[in-house]
Amino acid sequence: MEHLLSIKDLHASINGKEILKGFSLDMKAGEVHAIMGPNGSGKSTLSKVLAGREEYEVTSGTVIYKGENLLEMSPEERAHQGIFMAFQYPVELPGVNNTYFMQASLNAIRKARGEPELNSLNFMKLVRTKLKALEMDENLLKRSVNTGFSGGEMKRNEILQMTLLEPTLSILDETDSGLDIDALKMVSKGVNSLRSPERSMLVITHYQRLLDYIQPDYVHVLSGGRIIRSGDKSLALELEEKGYGWLQQEAAA
Amino acid sequence: MSAALLDYYQTLAANVPNEHAYQAVGKQRLGLVELPNRKQEAWRYTPLAPVLEHQFAAASREEGLLEPADIASLRVTPADHVCVVLLNGFFMPELSTLPAQAGLEVLDLAQAIQTSAVGIERLGSLSGECLHLFGAVNAALTSAGAYIRVTDKLAQPVEIMHINYSFDGEVLSNPRVLVQVEANASLTLLEQHAAFADVLGMHNGVTEIFLGEGAALNHPRLQNDSLRTRHLSSLYIQQAASSVYKGTTLALGSAWSRTEFHLDFSGGHAHCELNGFYLAGEQQMQAMHLDVLHSVPDCSSRESFKGILYGQGKAVFDGNILVKKDAQQTDARLSNDNLVLSREAEIDTKPRLEIYADDVQCSHGTTVGQIDPEMLFYLRARGIPKSAAMGMICQGFAAELIAHCDYPALETKALSILQERLMPVAAAL
Ligand SMILES: Nc1ncnc2c1ncn2[C@@H]1O[C@H](COP(=O)(O)OP(=O)(O)OP(=O)(O)O)[C@@H](O)[C@H]1O
Ligand SMILES: [Mg+2]
């Protein structure tokens, strides 16, 4: 079976500093991959490169998504093609109404795909059902995007967008960080509700706990800008116990 | 040119009879005043050629030029609410909507002068010495304008519609508006300067506002004059003890526009909120000039101004707050934030706090920035095309300020004008 996403020997830098140093990963449709790794190892860099942040310079390597060269697409084209990245640090948009933003987002994607846009009434119906499933406070819809949101509210807002946009490839960058236990369950429920044979997920996390809720097919360890170990979910348990040191030593050896 | 312009205005004034003492003061002043120039502190950053190079004809009352239906399409208040239409400065009863309302008196200013309406002697007492040429011209040339007095808490807003439009070519309008909100009364007064046609005229308005003890005025203003017009609004506000003034000026139109706020407190525990937004694009010049005087203790003021600049737009923010020696416990905060979308645009921002009291809380801050790449990426990552995303960021930046109007119909109107102006700009960035 063809890969949904195929990353080969990716090198990327920012401000002349190389962060990704030969990153490779293949993902099939329907698979969930977890990426773990120490702070500063390049996990968010990878997410942003995949989502199309232009400040990162890809110096070599390839990224093929649905058989096409992902690196040639603008961020909005990637979103239209079904890529969604839940930000580690969602951005505040003062003065931009949250509901308006989500409707604009969904409709931009639908339009690009030649699907009819949703009017406000139908959009509100849709967003309310998603909101309920995430047990989110409806007031968050009336406020400016992420502005003054608590850490947990921001993360839930990211997941709300994800469940609205129903992406083919979701990249969750530490969506579990800063969540309380209930919120973690809620977010996991949202993520799991999207699991299907067509959809894939790249889940970046520091905590094995999340992987109890979102069971990954594979776990990879990213260190120094590349994957130094891959395994199944038992690898996450092992990391929880032993940390990263032993793997980094092995990789250096 | 310069001396000729002074002569010209003096000659115009000589033919105007004095109906009220303030006009005599204006004429006197007209004989003494210098032309505004860049050496004067108050005009240092404001380019003056657009208003000094034209000899505008003095506006006169023109009947039958507009129809009530023309006004209906411009209004933001319901059709049965009070709406005063000032056409080239002149009060037009046949275009206005003037239902009787308890606690509210609305008159043609000329008529209020003739009938010695309550408080009419206050006219000119705030604008006083008519600081500069245009203040003097306003007083000397006409008694056109409106008189508004409120003695109760009014639930319905009052709208004032200024329209500059004439077949006579380049006319100068000089309306004066007197607003008195008496003790414990309250009002929402919406003002619009509407572009009816693409005219090149000059609006030179003076507004004097008196708030009695415990009075409250919400005063949203939308300046959407034609992009060839020159616009000068001078607002004078005096607040008695425990009164609240909230003014939100949205300056979107005009080729050259300057709004002056002169605010003074006469009693303690009064609060004022001055908000302003300006859009300076293409060849526009937008200036905001603040003189807030804290001369008595225990008053607070918030001055928040924001602007978006693009093309060869130029904006001036000249915000002065003076806290006098006796004005202890003053709490004043001034901010000015600018979003600059082009290299050619130019902003001069000059906030100034002058403090002579020792127990006060005062602060000021200004920012000049571009579209935040983090915000742009966030929106694009959600599928929103780049130009639409930039438009949303600009709208959001403005929307925060515009929301201070507290009048959704006006806010929506302002935001849609903004969107129309910014859409092609964002698409070209
Ligand atoms: N604009 C930048 N200029 C220079 N270095 C940068 C820039 N942005 C990121 N980096 C560096 O890139 C490295 C990788 O950062 P990245 O955010 O990808 O790490 P991470 O694995 O997501 O870490 P964490 O677990 O803390 O979220 C870090 O050392 C970081 O300081
Ligand atoms: Mg990170």
Which one of B267, B298, B315 terminates a domain? B267
B392–A76 CB contact, under 8 Å = no
Contact (Cβ atoms closer than 8 angstroms) between residue B335 and residue B302:
no
Task: With respect to residue B332, please indicate whether it lies within any of the assigned structural domains.
Answer: no
Residue A86 Cα to ligand 2 middle (Å): 11
- For residue A162, give the chain B residue with the closest CA: B382
Q: Give the per-residue pLDDT at A103.
A: 98
* Nearest C-alpha neighbor of B407 from the set B96, B224, B188, B127: B188
Give the DSSP letter of residue B175. -
User: What ipTM describes this predicted complex?
Assistant: 0.97
Residue B362 Cα to ligand 1 middle (Å): 39
| Distance of alpha carbon B253 from alpha carbon B397, whole angstroms | 18
Contact (Cβ atoms closer than 8 angstroms) between residue B345 and residue B280:
yes
Across chain A, which has 253 residues, the per-10-residue mean pLDDT values are 92 97 97 96 98 97 97 98 97 97 98 97 96 89 96 93 97 92 88 94 93 94 95 91 87 77
Contact (Cβ atoms closer than 8 angstroms) between residue B165 and residue B196:
yes
Q: Give the per-residue pLDDT at B1.
A: 47
Chain A contact set for B386 (CB, 8 A): 74, 76
B144 lies in the same domain as B258 = yes
A52–B375 CB contact, under 8 Å = no
Half-sphere exposure in the Cβ direction for A164 (13 Å, CA): 32
Residue A177 Cα to ligand 2 middle (Å): 10
Which one of B244, B267, B290 terminates a domain? B267
Ligand 1, residues at Cβ distance < 6 Å: A 14-15, 17, 19, 37, 39-45, 88
Q: How many CB atoms within 10 Å of residue A68?
A: 12
- For residue A144, give the chain B residue with the closest CA: B396
Tokens at B379, concatenated: 């929106």
Q: Is A169 on the interface with B (CB under 8 A)?
A: no
B126 lies in the same domain as B239 = yes
Task: With respect to residue B325, please indicate whether it lies within any of the assigned structural domains.
Answer: no
- Specify the residue with its C-alpha closest to ligand 1, atom 1: A14
B259 lies in the same domain as B377 = no
Residue A75 has its nearest CB partner, among B374, B375, B377, at B377
How far is residue A148 from each of residues A76, A119, A183, measured CA to CA in Å? 26, 28, 18
B247 lies in the same domain as B382 = no
B243 lies in the same domain as B383 = no
A94–B388 CB contact, under 8 Å = no
Burial of residue A217 (CB within 10 Å: 0-12, 13-18, 19+) is middle
* Nearest C-alpha neighbor of A202 from the set A89, A40, A46: A46
- Domain of residue B216 covers 2-267
B383–A93 CB contact, under 8 Å = no
Residue A7 Cα to ligand 1 middle (Å): 20
B377–A109 CB contact, under 8 Å = no
Distance between B279 CA and the closest CA of chain A, angstroms: 17
Q: Give the per-residue pLDDT at B2.
A: 64
A53–B375 CB contact, under 8 Å = no
pLDDT per residue as tens digits for the range A85-106: 999 999 999 999 999 999 999 9
| Distant-in-sequence, close-in-space partners of A51: CB < 8 Å, separation ≥ 6 | A75, A78, A83, A85, A171, B377, B381
Chain A contact set for B375 (CB, 8 A): 91, 93
| Distant-in-sequence, close-in-space partners of B28: CB < 8 Å, separation ≥ 6 | none
B48 lies in the same domain as B178 = yes
Residue A169 Cα to ligand 1 middle (Å): 23
Distance between B66 CA and the closest CA of chain A, angstroms: 37
| Distance of alpha carbon A96 from alpha carbon B400, whole angstroms | 9
Chain A contact set for B404 (CB, 8 A): none
Task: With respect to residue B323, please indicate whether it lies within any of the assigned structural domains.
Answer: no
| Distant-in-sequence, close-in-space partners of A11: CB < 8 Å, separation ≥ 6 | A18, A20, A21, A22, A23, A58, A59, A60, A61
Count of all residues that appear for chain A in the document:
253
CB pairs under 8 A between A and B: 80
Contact (Cβ atoms closer than 8 angstroms) between residue B248 and residue B219:
yes
- Specify the residue with its C-alpha closest to ligand 1, atom 25: A39
How far is residue A41 from each of residues A37, A211, A244, A248, B13, measured CA to CA in Å? 6, 20, 11, 11, 77
| Distance of alpha carbon A193 from alpha carbon B389, whole angstroms | 29
Contact (Cβ atoms closer than 8 angstroms) between residue B278 and residue B397:
no
Contact (Cβ atoms closer than 8 angstroms) between residue B294 and residue B301:
yes
Hunting for tokens 């903004």 — which residue is that? Answer: B418
| Distance of alpha carbon A235 from alpha carbon A102, whole angstroms | 37
How far is residue A187 from each of residues A158, A197, B91, B320, measured CA to CA in Å? 9, 20, 62, 50
Which one of B233, B267, B301 terminates a domain? B267
| Distant-in-sequence, close-in-space partners of A196: CB < 8 Å, separation ≥ 6 | A30
H/E element, A18: strand A17-27
B263 lies in the same domain as B379 = no
* Nearest C-alpha neighbor of B163 from the set B197, B208, B189, B209: B197
Burial of residue B407 (CB within 10 Å: 0-12, 13-18, 19+) is buried
Tokens at B375, concatenated: 């915000």
Instruction: Decide the pairing of beta strands B158-163 and B83-87.
Output: parallel
- Specify the residue with its C-alpha closest to ligand 1, atom 28: A40
| Helices vs. strands in chain A: H and E counts, helices first | 10, 12
| Distance of alpha carbon B137 from alpha carbon B85, whole angstroms | 22
Task: With respect to residue B127, please indicate whether it lies within any of the assigned structural domains.
Answer: yes
| Helices vs. strands in chain B: H and E counts, helices first | 9, 21
- Specify the residue with its C-alpha closest to ligand 1, atom 24: A39
| Distant-in-sequence, close-in-space partners of B100: CB < 8 Å, separation ≥ 6 | none
A95–B385 CB contact, under 8 Å = no
- Specify the residue with its C-alpha closest to ligand 1, atom 26: A39
B244 lies in the same domain as B377 = no
Residue segments in chain B with a per-residue pLDDT below the cut of 50: 1
Hunting for tokens 């003189």 — which residue is that? Answer: B291
| Distant-in-sequence, close-in-space partners of B5: CB < 8 Å, separation ≥ 6 | B35, B52, B55
A210 in the Ramachandran plot: left (φ > 0), alpha (ψ -120 to 50) or beta?
alpha
Residue B384 has its nearest CB partner, among A53, A84, A105, at A105
Contact (Cβ atoms closer than 8 angstroms) between residue B206 and residue B178:
no
Tokens at B381, concatenated: 């990552």
B385 lies in the same domain as B258 = no
Task: With respect to residue B330, please indicate whether it lies within any of the assigned structural domains.
Answer: no
Contact (Cβ atoms closer than 8 angstroms) between residue A172 and residue A204:
yes
| Distance of alpha carbon A134 from alpha carbon A151, whole angstroms | 16
Please tell me the total count of domains within chain B: 2
Q: Give the per-residue pLDDT at A250.
A: 84
Residue B348 Cα to ligand 2 middle (Å): 39
Task: With respect to residue B293, please indicate whether it lies within any of the assigned structural domains.
Answer: no
Q: Give the per-residue pLDDT at A251.
A: 80
CB < 8 Å from B in window 96-125 of A = 96, 101, 104-106, 108-109, 112
Task: With respect to residue B235, please indicate whether it lies within any of the assigned structural domains.
Answer: yes
| Distance of alpha carbon A80 from alpha carbon B4, whole angstroms | 64
Distance between A21 CA and the closest CA of chain B, angstroms: 24
B383–A109 CB contact, under 8 Å = yes
Task: With respect to residue B157, please indicate whether it lies within any of the assigned structural domains.
Answer: yes
B96 lies in the same domain as B216 = yes
Q: How far apart are the first and last CA of chain B?
A: 40
B248 lies in the same domain as B395 = no
B381–A79 CB contact, under 8 Å = yes
B401 lies in the same domain as B257 = no
| Distance of alpha carbon B285 from alpha carbon B421, whole angstroms | 15
